[in-house]
Structure 1
Amino acid sequence: MDVHQIIARRIRELRDAKAWSLEALAERSSVSRSNISLIERGESSPTAVVLDKLATALGVPLASLFEHPDNASATELSPHSSLRDQPVWRDPVSGYIRRNVSPPAWSPIQLVEVDFPRGKEVSYDTSARDADIHQQIWLIDGSMEITVGDRQWQLETGDCLTMKLDSPIRFRNTSRRRARYLVALCSLPLDSRSAR
């Protein structure tokens, strides 16, 4: 299945699960109804910023928009993910490439590999969601400047940064070469905080 069709079906599936109309999702995400409609029909190549707005409104991590829609029971989904089957997507604005590494079988952890072009940046107006979403970024190669809220870090090869997805985040490659990093995400229901 084409990555745009995966995104289309996942957004429609998540919206239907909340029993939201296109108008309701548009109001909550600040993405126009017509744009959401085009995305859900697989007729638009949304930017990373637009996808993050939709994911935030739907209360899920951005990575979940790249999961294969639930067309089989959890026991039938494979715990294995081969390279050729991992969805790859390119942000049409920054040119960054993300590959969902995680297998289709459910796991509380999602892995995403990102190839980020030199001199480019992406800013997300991330805010609180219906779940606590935590992520770690491990820089495999290159360097990245990452701003979370009002704090900024310069990551070099081998560095790792952890964060909670509840404030604006900016990824910026200030180096003269591409950067490659792994993102590990974990979602916890909000009610699990009292158990910690």
Structure 2
Amino acid sequence: MDLTVYLATMLKSLRQGRGWSLSRLAEETGVSKAMLGQIERNESSPTVSTLWKIATGLNVPFSTFIAPPEEETPRAYDPQQQAMVVTPIFPWDEKLHFDLFSINLAPGALSESTPHEAGVIEHVIVISGVLDMCIDGQWRTIAAGSGLRFAGDEAHAYRNSTAQTTHFHSLIHYPKEKAAGKPAAKTTTTNESDNPE
């Protein structure tokens, strides 16, 4: 199945399964009713950031929309060759409650992410290039071989300020139960030199 067709079908199925109208879905996700209708009719492919909003509003993992279960090899989500290309490495795991993605961010690209559901922890590891991340309103630079762990239920942003594509992995860990408040995990930076030989 074409990935955009799968996405459109999955969105409509999830919305109808909840008994929601397009208006209700728009309220829950912060995405316009018109855009949601276009996505469901496969007339428009959402950006990665829009798809994150939809997944968060529906309280489902991001890979729900881009990793059809019948596919052995997940494909990259690259609508209209956008600046951020997301490929599932390990799609949603029901037992372990995580998604793991390989992400390429084009030179000069900026991607802003709305907060995920309460209790989500994100781990970012830069494979090649340099990644800037905005957490708690502060920009941090992460070099290849280093990582950052942070609470994903706060707004955050990814930026590539260089002339080369930045490649990083993102592991999104979802709570097994709805968290009552913020997760206990703090923002943590690691790099190869922090690890004992």
Shorter-chain TM band: 0.7 to 0.9
- Structure 2 unaligned residues grouped into runs of 5+: 185-197
- Amino acid of the structure 1 residue aligned with 2:147: C
Cross-structure match for 2:9: 9
Alignment CA distance shift 1:171-1:93 (3 Å): farther
- Unaligned ranges ≥5, structure 1: 70-76
Deviations 1:26-67 (A, max 9, x none): 122222222111111222111122212212211234333223
Most deviating of 98-107 and 52-61? 98-107
Q: TM-score, normalised by structure 1?
A: 0.80
Which of 140, 152, 155 matches 2:127?
140
| Residue 38 (structure 1) aligns with | 38
Distance 2:64 2:149 in 1: 19
Q: Offset of 1:86 from its aligned partner?
A: 0.9
Residue equivalent to 1:117: 106
CA positional deviation for 1:100 = 1.1
Task: Give 1:28's aligned residue.
Answer: 28
Distance in structure 2 (CA, Å) of the matches to 1:171 and 1:98: 13
Query: Which has the higher mean CA deviation after the structures are superposed, 166-175 or 3-12?
Result: 3-12
1:105 Cα offset (Å): 6.2
Q: Quick check: 88-97 or 151-160, which moved more? A: 88-97
Q: CA deviation at 1:128?
A: 5.4
Greater mean alpha carbon deviation, residues 88-97 or residues 145-154: 88-97
Instruction: Give the direction of change, closer, same or farther, for the CA distance of 1:191–1:17 in structure 2 (3 Å limit).
Output: farther
| CA displacement at 1:146 relative to structure 2 | 0.4
Return the alpha-carbon distance in structure 2 between the equivalents of residues 192 and 179 of structure 1. 35
- CA–CA separation in structure 1 for the residues paired with 2:58 and 2:30: 12
Answer yes or no: is the 8 Å Cα contact 1:134–1:186 preserved in 2. yes
From 85, 97, 109, the equivalent of 1:97 is 85
Amino acid at match of 1:50: T
1:49 is matched with: 49
User: Taking every aligned residue pair, what percent have the same amino acid on both sides?
Assistant: 23
Hey, what does 1:184 align to over in structure 2? 171
- What amino acid maps onto 1:19 in structure 2? G
For 2:32 and 2:54, locate their aligned partners in 1 and report how far apart those are by CA, in whole Å.
11
More helix per residue: 1
Corresponding residue number in structure 1 for 2:192: none
CA distance in structure 2 between the partners assigned to 1:156 and 1:128 by the alignment: 25
Cα deviation, residue 104, structure 1: 7.2
1:166 lines up with 2:166 in the alignment = no
The one-letter code sitting in structure 1 at the alignment partner of 2:77 is W
2: CA distance between counterparts of 1:43 and 1:118? 28
Count of residue pairs brought into register by the alignment: 180
| Residue of structure 2 in register with 1:73 after alignment | none
What amino acid sits opposite 1:137 in the alignment? V
Distance 1:128 1:110 in 2: 13
The CA deviation string for residues 75-110 of structure 1, in whole angstroms up to 9 with x for no partner, is: xx7xxx75xx21211154842211112257644221
State the match for 1:87 in structure 2. 75
